[in-house]
Structure 1
Amino acid sequence: MSTPVARHPDARDLRRWRRYLAEEQAEAAVYRDLAAKRDGEEREILLALADAEKRHERHWRELLGDDVGKPVRGTARTRALGWLARRFGSVFVLALAQRAEARAVYAQERDATPQMIADERIHEEVVRSLAARGRAKLSGTFRAAVFGANDGLVSNLALVLGIGATGVDPTVVLFTGVAGLLAGALSMGAGEFVSVSSQRELLEASTPDPLARQAIPHLDLGANELALVYRARGESADDAAAHAERTIREYRPGERSDSHRRGRDFAEIGSPWGAAFSSFCFFASGALIPVLPYAFGMSGVAAVAVAAGMVGVALLATGASVGILSGASPLRRAVRQLAIGFGAAAATYLLGLLFGTTLG
């Protein structure tokens, strides 16, 4: 860490440095709390990040000297992140930490050292990589949850509002919504089953046979057909020949082949039945919400308003979740999800009004 700038600080400098000091202390605590929820390599990486924040903390302490003053609390954002880290330690917290590191507050700070600015950039990449591990584990389930629930919310809200706008009896709207729920949930479940099954079958067909490695020591070096394998995978003739010779030369009996990767890939894709059941449940849970007002005897504008309000809250929640997990702005993703959902529902409602007027 370079030597602090030698100049007399004014009151604004002291306030800013104290704020930075508090932020570094809070961020170090976040990484320690996250580390406490993990073990192995991830724990070591998070503790190393906490140590880096302590180095930054020492920089601000040196600048402040005797003017450290009373302890200052970190920002509300960082304190909230710490609260989540202590209680959950999930990939969502890592995604929020990634977003916090991306703010690069020292980039325009004259009293921050070049090393600190570089550290911020690297910290963002470290946290991004840790979050990517969690995203990979969550990808199948989370995708099914978000898309299933969102489809149920939007499609059944559009269906219920469209039918309700024609002026039919509320009981008809209720049964139409229930029918839409069951039909959509079954369709989603069947679609996910076919999709995941197809992914697994394609992976199975494209994965090298682990037993093929047993033939390597018996290959004829003069007519090295192993080179054909690598050429078929896209390597040039010279590269394939060199690759094949190296593989035969370095072959070790009993060495683990790439077959373990296939098991990991299958685990990430998931089970067809598990994906189908998850999609069915998530779609049904979303599709149930716009039906609830009619199930409790509401009708007319009141039922429409309550259904739209409940679905709006749910859409905001799913959009914000996607934003958090992707490291993007939760507010922006939430508003986008709301606009898309309400746009589809409004179009169907207007069509329902048009058909209701025509039929009337």
Structure 2
Amino acid sequence: MPFDAPPHTAAPSPALIRQWQRHLANERMEEQVYRRLAQRRRGEDRDILLSLADAERRHQQHWIGLLGKHAGRRRMPALGVLVLAALGRVFGSIFVLALAQQAEAKSPYDSDSFASDEMAADEKVHAEVIRALAAKSRSRLSGNFRAAVFGANDGLVSNLALVLGVGAAGLAPHQVLLTGISGLLAGALSMGAGEFVSVRSQRELLDASEPDPASTEVLPALNIDANELALVFRARGMTAEEAARAAETAIRKSQARAVVTFLPSSMQSSDHEELGTGLGAAAASFCFFASGAVIPILPYLLGATGLTAIVLAAGLVGLALLVTGGIVGILSGRAPLPRALRQLAIGFGAAGITYALGLLFGASAG
């Protein structure tokens, strides 16, 4: 059903027509994005994305009704929508969903008197729908992706600080390069080992809290009247009545040779997917630390020396910090630029301190 357009007596100005045409172009492009995403999904997620696409088509009818004879003029969508559509053709759905969440949350309809209240409300609800869809993908990414991002940033910052510090102290270029390579290997190995131990320890702690599968073998021998099994369920948070019913059900299932678990239904998601695997997290941390740490020594590998090498190293690392910070911002559903600048400030702050200390020690030694 088309939306009711606000009444207006005067003919719309050219500027207003262009604004409506831009809104129409945005809605058309967003519909295409949701339909492309739906093609990559199955089940409930696919149906939800198609419903969002249908909603964007309803919004188009509102602007078509206002534009009348001017609806046939095609305009370019807003830059953010164009970027969203372009990235949607290249990257996975998590990246596109994160961008779509930002786009829906910044809808211009709140301040546009020609957009209906229903449309403005739709956009806010769409943002929450996208947030929920993106949350599923974020939970799958969070383990190994966290290790990868932290590893890359640690490699960038720590090795830049190391290279600038020893370079400012007056070491020869080949000595700076050797120091940078040593820092790369030492840091990558340390990060990989630390991440492996961290993830494995977390998994072992969680596994220790889960029921022992072998304990279900004794269930058929339990006294169903005394029902000691109820104590297990009570210890896991059930009330006495709930525990008694759960224990009786578990014993009857065991007698029928059905699968039994001692966990309440609310606690039966125990695959720890969000942690990632120990080896996966270690490999990601090692590789991404190394990929970050190699950037500050690239100028020295290519034969640059002195101030030229320092400036090149700082510039390359600055670009990399902006990229990684921006990606983290996008995937977290936040504006990428502030996160990119924050990453840059932290990295250059640490490197600046070591560079100043290197100058100080170099002057003292001289």
Do the structures match in fold with TM over 0.5?
A: yes
Aligned equivalent of 1:295, options 298, 301, 311: 301
| 2:230–2:240 Cα contact (<8 Å) kept | yes
Distance, in Å, in 1 between the alignment partners of 2:182 and 2:17 is: 65
Give secondary structure in 1 for the equivalent of 2:304: coil
1:109-188 matched pairs, under 5 angstroms: 109-188=112-191
Matched, 1:59 2:62: yes
Aligned equivalent of 1:276, options 282, 291, 314: 282
Matched, 1:240 2:246: no
Q: What letter is aligned with 2:42?
A: D
Q: How far apart are 1:223 and its partner, in Å?
A: 4.2
Distance, in Å, in 2 between the alignment partners of 1:194 and 1:117 is: 48
Give secondary structure in 2 for the equivalent of 1:62: helix
Matched, 1:98 2:98: no
| 2:230–2:246 Cα contact (<8 Å) kept | no
Q: How far apart are 1:15 and its partner, in Å?
A: 3.0
Q: Which residue of 1 aligns with 2:19?
A: 16
1:254-269 matched pairs, under 5 angstroms: 254=258, 257=261, 261-262=269-270, 264-265=271-272, 267-269=273-275
Aligned equivalent of 1:29, options 21, 32, 38: 32
Distance, in Å, in 2 between the alignment partners of 1:219 and 1:332 is: 61
Provide the identity percentage.
Answer: 56
Q: How far apart are 1:248 and its partner, in Å?
A: 4.2
Q: TM-score, normalised by structure 2?
A: 0.89
Q: What letter is aligned with 1:10?
A: P
Aligned equivalent of 2:351, options 328, 338, 345: 345
Across the aligned residues of Structure 1 and Structure 2, the Cα RMSD in angstroms comes to: 2.3
Q: TM-score, normalised by structure 1?
A: 0.90
Q: How far apart are 1:222 and its partner, in Å?
A: 5.4
Distance, in Å, in 1 between the alignment partners of 2:330 and 2:165 is: 33
Change (3 A) 1:214 1:98: farther
Consecutive unaligned residues of structure 1, counting only runs of 5 or more, are none
Q: What letter is aligned with 1:243?
A: E
Per-residue CA deviations over 1:72-125 (Å, capped at 9, x if unaligned) read: 221121122112212334311110000001113212222322322221121111
Aligned equivalent of 2:340, options 329, 334, 345: 334
Distance, in Å, in 2 between the alignment partners of 1:25 and 1:211 is: 57
Matched, 1:315 2:321: yes
Distance, in Å, in 1 between the alignment partners of 2:203 and 2:61 is: 52
Give secondary structure in 2 for the equivalent of 1:124: helix
Give secondary structure in 2 for the equivalent of 1:112: coil
1:74-89 matched pairs, under 5 angstroms: 74-89=77-92
Give secondary structure in 2 for the equivalent of 1:261: coil
Q: What letter is aligned with 1:261?
A: S
Q: Which residue of 1 aligns with 2:291?
A: 285
Aligned residues: 354
Give secondary structure in 1 for the equivalent of 2:239: helix
Change (3 A) 1:215 1:56: farther
Q: What letter is aligned with 1:125?
A: E
Give secondary structure in 2 for the equivalent of 1:42: helix
Q: How far apart are 1:225 and its partner, in Å?
A: 3.7
Matched, 1:6 2:11: no
